[in-house]
Amino acid sequence: MISTSPNSLNLPKHRTRRVLVIDDTESIHDDFRMTLAPPKADASLALEAAAIFGDETPEALPSDAQDFVIDSAYQGEDGCKKVCHALAHGDPYAVAFVDMRMPPGWDGLETIERLWEVDPDLQIVICSAYSDYSWEDIIQRLGVNDQLLLLKKPFDTAEVSQLAVALTQKWELAQQAGMKFSELQGMVDRQTEALRQLAYCDKLTGLPNRAGLFEQLRPLVTESGDGFGLFFLDFDRFKLVNDSLGHDMGDELLIQITQRINQVLAQPDTIDVEDAPKPFASRLGGDEFVVVWPGCADHDWLDAKAQTLLSALRPAYTLGRHQVTSTASIGVTTSQIGYTRAEDAIRDADVAMYQAKNTGKDRACFFTMQMHDQAVERLGLEEGLAKALTQDELALFYQPIVDVQTGQTAGFEALIRWDRPGSGFVNPEYFISIAEETGQIIEIGQWVLDTAIQQHAQWRRQPGHEHLFMSINLSKRQLVDSSIAETIRDLLKKHDVPAQTIKVEITETAIMENPETVAPVLDELRALGVGLSMDDFGKGHSSLSCLHQFPLTTLKIDRLFIKNMEEHREYGAIIQAIIVLAKNLGIDVVAEGIETDAQLAQLQALDCDYAQGYFFSRPAPAHEVFEG
């Protein structure tokens, strides 16, 4: 791609490259240091540098040839002083990464104008979030300039290191060019073009990357043409392939996916007019692709295209010895929404893609304004949830689990509650699923375990309560967190509670979705001595065979079964069969959702061990549990 290497110019083999980061967020500085000047020599950087500048082997650059020295400034004015000072001492900076927003001082654009007044050779990367100035705004203010590149937040570390390596090298060339400018001009141009390629092209698939997509999409969004359709594709099982078969196979899958997409795009088409812009695909990163169809925003036409694409992507892929299927979920949006910014169109197609994923995968969903409202609400919940723990908005309620034969309380289930300021109690199933997706469940789950075990310890110390057990729900994500058994062991120790008096509840779906990963964790938990309760049995794809497979101690029959039991006799028969089988395996049975005395009487007749439901008590805060 690039014809010359820096060594052919007899550039010094070792040079310390000075980089200045101007950003008001302190943690960003550490991120830059970790990426560009990690504590130990980072061989991957040498490889990247070699790749960028066309060296055959990384040895062409000595391992210490890309030493970056990172300096920090937290405001534009401070940055300008540092650049001045460095120049005056004959040790100028090669590159500055400049944040766009730095209240209360100069913003990024003003900072850059001032920096160039001081040091016209300085290479600059503007670091901006999507909501900041558009590229057009920046160009208008700073002019077209090959010393300026744009880096969108949040950063990709590979992008940061590539930009730093390439721009410092370009800066060095420019320094040399002071002496023989004409000779080097062509080379600089070629390097710039190569840099552009790197900046706009995805190395693996050869498709435009995020920056390349924006470059092509922006004119479609801003010009009033015939409109466009935009697909956001995400592959339903890509992560599984990557995790189970390795990254090489994952890469191979992405390449084959790209080939199939390109084949669909190359098909002759009814709206193909000569000179009309052609449809194009781009890779945003990971397994996310965007396909843009310029010239048509018609719903039915785009739907037909989406179906063609889904059909092309559906057949199995051959990866080495493996045959793998990896269908796509496609979110579609069109120019009819009235976009003025490319990023908004991509965001909306992404929202629609989630809808496609959540409603069954291997399908296309069109974006609607209702989805937008839901996404905004969800985002609000996510943000609220982040604060909920620290602001004391979470609480545990406790619901008794009653011995069916004696009517005595045998233990409690801890159930989380979020009293959200301004909106009241949020449905736990809803916010738990959000916390699962965002990963916040790990922290929340830890708090639940700690609080419930502490409460349990307190109750057990009261006379007559020593026999009580405490049942605590664990979510899917907590189960695949390999340290869960250790966490629980530490908490048992901390609160001085015997493991046998704690049960963890895991839903049937959490176990059955991922049995291979979950099984060893269940073994570990069981070895610790805590009871294992399968929650909501019968709600998912229940299979009695799982009772043999996992070291369960309790089975909780879902309340839907109980609800149907009175009206449909066959449910009674099924419940009876479950109870008999469980008892044979030494597993206790809890019936959930008992609301009437008739239901209780039936469960007594069926010899069920425990019951839980509004009939006995609704979940209540700890201080109300033993009242009256």
Q: Which residues bind ligand C2E (CB under 6 A)?
A: 399, 415-416, 428-429, 432, 448, 473-475, 505, 535-536, 559, 592-595, 612-614, 619
Nearest distance in Å: CB 556, Mg ion: 5
* Cα–Cα distance, 118 to 103 (Å, whole number): 22
Please say which residue, 283 or 503, places its beta carbon nearer to Mg ion: 503
Q: Please give the structure tokens belonging to residue 608.
A: 């069920």
Q: Which does 55 bind (CB under 5 to 8 A by kind): ligand C2E, Mg ion, none?
A: none
Nearest distance in Å: CB 430, ligand C2E: 9
Nearest distance in Å: CB 507, Mg ion: 7
Beta strands in 129-210, from DSSP E residues, in sequence order: 148-152
Q: Which does 619 bind (CB under 5 to 8 A by kind): ligand C2E, Mg ion, none?
A: ligand C2E
Q: Which does 428 bind (CB under 5 to 8 A by kind): ligand C2E, Mg ion, none?
A: ligand C2E
Q: Which does 416 bind (CB under 5 to 8 A by kind): ligand C2E, Mg ion, none?
A: ligand C2E
Q: Please give the structure tokens belonging to residue 302.
A: 């785009």
Q: Which does 429 bind (CB under 5 to 8 A by kind): Mg ion, ligand C2E, none?
A: ligand C2E
* DSSP assigned state of 539: T
Nearest distance in Å: CB 447, ligand C2E: 9
* Cα–Cα distance, 148 to 463 (Å, whole number): 74
3 state SS of 504: strand
Please say which residue, 202 or 436, places its beta carbon nearer to ligand C2E: 436
Question: Given the structure tokens 């979510």, which residue do they identify?
Answer: 475
Q: Which does 481 bind (CB under 5 to 8 A by kind): Mg ion, ligand C2E, none?
A: none
Nearest distance in Å: CB 335, ligand C2E: 41
User: Considering only CA atoms, which of 143, 101, 154, 99 is closest in space to residue 125?
Assistant: 99
Question: Under 8 Å CB-to-CB from 263, ≥6 apart: which residues?
Answer: 312
Nearest distance in Å: CB 394, ligand C2E: 9
Nearest distance in Å: CB 548, ligand C2E: 23
Q: Which residue is nearest to Mg ion (CB)?
A: 505
The CA dihedral of 114, 116, 118, 119, to the nearest 10 degrees, is 150
Q: What angle do CA 172, 173, 174 make, to 5 degrees?
A: 90
Q: Which does 223 bind (CB under 5 to 8 A by kind): Mg ion, ligand C2E, none?
A: none
- Binding string, 583-612, against Mg ion, x = CB under 5 A? ---------x--------------------
Binding status of residue 508 toward Mg ion by CB under 5 A: no
Nearest distance in Å: CB 604, Mg ion: 21
Find the distance separating the first CA and the last CA of the chain, reported in whole Å: 81
Q: Which does 430 bind (CB under 5 to 8 A by kind): ligand C2E, Mg ion, none?
A: none
Please say which residue, 346 or 534, places its beta carbon nearer to ligand C2E: 534
Q: Which does 229 bind (CB under 5 to 8 A by kind): ligand C2E, Mg ion, none?
A: none
* DSSP assigned state of 147: T
* Cα–Cα distance, 526 to 97 (Å, whole number): 52
Nearest distance in Å: CB 595, ligand C2E: 5
Q: Which does 287 bind (CB under 5 to 8 A by kind): Mg ion, ligand C2E, none?
A: none
Nearest distance in Å: CB 541, Mg ion: 16
Q: Which does 295 bind (CB under 5 to 8 A by kind): Mg ion, ligand C2E, none?
A: none
Candidate ranges 98-106, 377-385, 400-408, 505-513; the one touching Mg ion (CB under 5 A): 505-513
Chain residues 335-364 in contact with Mg ion, contact rule CB under 5 A: none
What secondary structure does DSSP assign to 311-360, as a single string?
Answer: HHH-SPEEETTEEE---EEEEEEEGGG--SSHHHHHHHHHHHHHHHHHTT
Please say which residue, 372 or 563, places its beta carbon nearer to ligand C2E: 563
Please say which residue, 481 or 592, places its beta carbon nearer to Mg ion: 592
Please say which residue, 229 or 613, places its beta carbon nearer to ligand C2E: 613
Please say which residue, 49 or 562, places its beta carbon nearer to ligand C2E: 562
Residues 297, 227 contacting (CB under 8 angstroms):
yes
* Cα–Cα distance, 207 to 210 (Å, whole number): 10
Please say which residue, 319 or 448, places its beta carbon nearer to Mg ion: 448
Q: Please give the structure tokens belonging to residue 67.
A: 């030493």
CA quadruple 125, 129, 133, 136: dihedral positive or negative? Answer: positive
Q: Please give the structure tokens belonging to residue 291.
A: 């396909």
User: Considering only CA atoms, which of 573, 606, 566, 568 is closest in space to residue 590?
Assistant: 606
Q: What angle do CA 418, 422, 424 make, to 5 degrees?
A: 40
β-strands 409-420, 394-403: how paired?
antiparallel
Q: Please give the structure tokens belonging to residue 213.
A: 């997509």
Please say which residue, 234 or 508, places its beta carbon nearer to Mg ion: 508
Please say which residue, 221 or 590, places its beta carbon nearer to Mg ion: 590
For the chain, what's the residue count?
A: 628
Nearest distance in Å: CB 524, Mg ion: 20
- Give Cα separations from 484 to 480, 487, 504 (angstroms): 8, 5, 11
Which residues partner with 331 through β-bridges? 232, 365
* Inter-axis angle of helices 210-222 and 135-142, nearest 10: 90
Q: Which residue is nearest to ligand C2E (CB)?
A: 613
Binding status of residue 234 toward Mg ion by CB under 5 A: no
Q: What angle do CA 192, 195, 198 make, to 5 degrees?
A: 160
Nearest distance in Å: CB 541, ligand C2E: 17
What secondary structure does DSSP assign to 554-594, as a single string?
Answer: EEEE-HHHHHHHTT-HHHHHHHHHHHHHHHHTT-EEEE---
Q: Which does 559 bind (CB under 5 to 8 A by kind): Mg ion, ligand C2E, none?
A: ligand C2E
Please say which residue, 481 or 558, places its beta carbon nearer to Mg ion: 558
Q: Which does 557 bind (CB under 5 to 8 A by kind): Mg ion, ligand C2E, none?
A: none
Nearest distance in Å: CB 388, ligand C2E: 13
Please say which residue, 306 or 589, places its beta carbon nearer to ligand C2E: 589
Binding status of residue 473 toward Mg ion by CB under 5 A: yes
Please say which residue, 229 or 619, places its beta carbon nearer to ligand C2E: 619
Binding status of residue 535 toward Mg ion by CB under 5 A: yes
Buried-exposed string 457-485: b where 16+ CB fall within 10 A, e elsewhere: bebbeeeeeeebbbbbbbbbbbbebeebb
Binding status of residue 536 toward Mg ion by CB under 5 A: yes
Please say which residue, 166 or 470, places its beta carbon nearer to ligand C2E: 470
3 state SS of 281: strand
Our measurement of the distance from residue 517's CA atom to the centroid of its chain's CA atoms, rounded to an integer in Å, reads: 20
Cis ω on the peptide bond leading into residue 498 (within 30° of 0)? no
Site residues for Mg ion per CB under 5 A: 473, 505, 535-536, 592
